[in-house]
């Protein structure tokens, strides 16, 4: 019977959760679900120096904000808990002791000053910085005496000499590294906390992780991880190292220097979570039928990590905006209004927003576009005389405003149809230039040259406000 597929994501609470992290989490989630398996969330907080208060809660919140979930982990528990590394310290200590007992690891008493001096010397000699193994063959009895005396130490892996370390990457095939190029890495730090390298192997093994889908920056660490697995006598998982996102300009790894990378910030900017997930799905992976709009269920059905491109892909903001626009227009007006609630300013009532929404739905790219595209409906506007009289004269515009005010004031039924009928009849009767007149009228009632359809807008603005604005425009001439 085949082993149940179990994937994981193991974020560190050291800052904002990156969109690249969400994209990787999505792939781990999809592969587990594709195989009827489990997706595990684990918090890797062994780096206590860089740990940020409240970061764990934010990570959990943003994952849920994207509409994703986990089968085991924080808030849920599971058979392999705890799922927070700082609560698993005894497990790591026991694992490290097992390696010491089997001569697969050793105590190292080198001070920070000694190691700095060693690195400086290696750099001066143009050698790659590497621990020189000075305590690798130190007598175990002497080491235990120093430990018992309370002397600071770390525990290092005893990397086998002159062996070839090979692992298979689902995207790149077999990768081999000579063990002479792998450092005797630290497994347990002097503060009693494990390094990432020990903790991740112990936890992945204990939690039955079968596939590790992670960023390509971890390729160089994978030989270390394979060696730790072999030291324990355990079978490594299957690896897939996913290329990084490139900046929107295509130059370099996506970073804060070229704009925001925070996963939460995209939600705050008014991108729909399902649109963002759809965008992440098709970055470096293609649906069998080349579909670009697809649901999470459809992605799960077809996703296989071996089909991910091994080349880095550009974080194409234009494509993201197009996808988001498609999702916005696929919502009913009632659904969209509900999604818009956090983005509707306090001076716009929900009833106003509901009336305005059909006029701007086709023009929304993100939910945050609502306010700049609608502010003139519920806020005072400013009119510039030069713009108002463009392509005409103050005298002609004055007459147009007077006649339009009278025609609209005389309307007994205030509807889009009646407004259009009255205004068009007036324009034809007076033989005003069509483009000039309608642009002037649009500007007079909205303070903007780019608005929703004119007669729909006038209808929603309401008779009282439209007449007030026409009067105010008339007053500046």
Long-range CB contact pairs, 89-94, < 8 A, 24+ = 89/192, 89/193, 89/194, 91/202, 91/206, 92/188, 92/193, 92/194, 92/198, 92/199, 92/202, 93/188, 93/192
Give the phi and the psi of residue 73 in degrees, each rounded to 5: 145, -165
Listed residue (357, 99, 399) closest to 231, CA to CA: 99
- Taking CA 23 as the corner, what is the angle to CA 20 and CA 29, rounded to the nearest 5 degrees? 140
Taking CA atoms, 135 is separated from 108, 109, 131, 162, in Å, by 5, 7, 10, 19
Helices (H), 331-369: 333-340, 350-360
126 annotated active-site? no
Neighbours of 129 (CB within 10 A): 12
Listed residue (372, 317, 322, 363) closest to 343, CA to CA: 372
Catalytic one among 161, 256, 385, 430?
256
Look-up of token digits 């971890």: 218
Cα 41 from Cα 24, distance rounded (Å): 12
Cα 253 from Cα 242, distance rounded (Å): 13
Contact indicator for 181, 129 with CB cutoff of 8 Å: no
Structure tokens at 420: 């259009």
Catalytic residue numbers read: 256
């Amino acid at each position: 019977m085949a082993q149940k597929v179990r994937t994981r994501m193991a974020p560190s609470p050291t800052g904002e959760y990156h969109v690249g992290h969400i994209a990787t989490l999505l792939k781990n989630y999809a592969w587990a679900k594709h195989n009827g398996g489990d997706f595990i969330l684990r918090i890797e907080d062994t780096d206590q120096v860089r740990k940020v208060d409240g970061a764990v809660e934010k990570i959990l919140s943003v994952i849920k904000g994207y509409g994703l979930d986990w089968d085991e982990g924080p808030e849920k528990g599971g058979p392999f808990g705890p799922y927070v590394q700082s609560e698993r310290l005894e497990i790591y200590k026991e694992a490290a002791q097992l390696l010491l007992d089997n001569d697969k690891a050793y105590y190292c008493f080198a001070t920070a000053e000694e190691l700095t001096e060693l690195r400086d010397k290696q750099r001066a000699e143009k050698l790659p910085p590497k621990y020189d193994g000075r305590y690798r063959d130190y007598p175990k009895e002497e080491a235990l005496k120093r430990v018992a005396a309370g002397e600071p130490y770390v525990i290092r892996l005893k990397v086998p000499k002159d062996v070839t370390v090979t692992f298979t990457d689902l995207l790149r095939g077999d990768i081999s590294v000579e063990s002479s190029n792998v450092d005797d890495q630290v497994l347990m730090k002097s503060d009693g906390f494990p390094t990432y390298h020990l903790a991740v192997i112990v936890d992945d093994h204990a939690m039955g992780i079968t596939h590790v889908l992670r960023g390509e920056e971890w390729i160089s660490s994978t030989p270390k991880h394979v060696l730790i697995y072999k030291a324990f006598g355990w079978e490594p998982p299957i690896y897939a190292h996913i290329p990084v996102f490139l900046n929107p300009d295509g130059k370099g790894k996506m970073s804060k220097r070229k704009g925001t990378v925070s996963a939460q910030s995209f939600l705050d900017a008014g991108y729909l979570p399902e649109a963002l997930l759809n965008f992440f799905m098709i970055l470096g992976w293609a649906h069998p039928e080349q579909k670009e709009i697809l649901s999470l269920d459809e992605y799960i059905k077809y996703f296989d990590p071996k089909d991910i491109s091994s080349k880095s892909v550009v974080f194409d903001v234009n494509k993201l905006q197009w996808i988001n626009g498609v999702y916005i227009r696929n919502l009913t007006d009632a659904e969209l209004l509900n999604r818009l609630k956090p983005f509707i300013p306090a001076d716009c009532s929900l009833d106003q927003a509901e009336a305005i929404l059909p006029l701007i739905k086709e023009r929304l790219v993100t939910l945050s576009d609502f306010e700049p595209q609608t502010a003139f409906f519920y806020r005072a506007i400013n009119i510039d005389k030069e713009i108002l009289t463009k392509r005409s004269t103050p005298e002609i515009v004055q007459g147009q405003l007077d006649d339009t005010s009278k025609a609209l004031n005389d309307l007994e039924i205030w509807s889009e149809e009646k407004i259009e009928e009255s205004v068009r009849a007036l324009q034809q009767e007076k033989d005003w230039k069509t483009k000039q007149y309608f642009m002037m009228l649009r500007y007079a009632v909205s303070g903007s040259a780019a608005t929703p359809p004119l007669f729909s807008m006038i209808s929603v603005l309401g008779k009282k406000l439209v007449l007030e604005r026409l009067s105010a425009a008339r007053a500046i001439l």
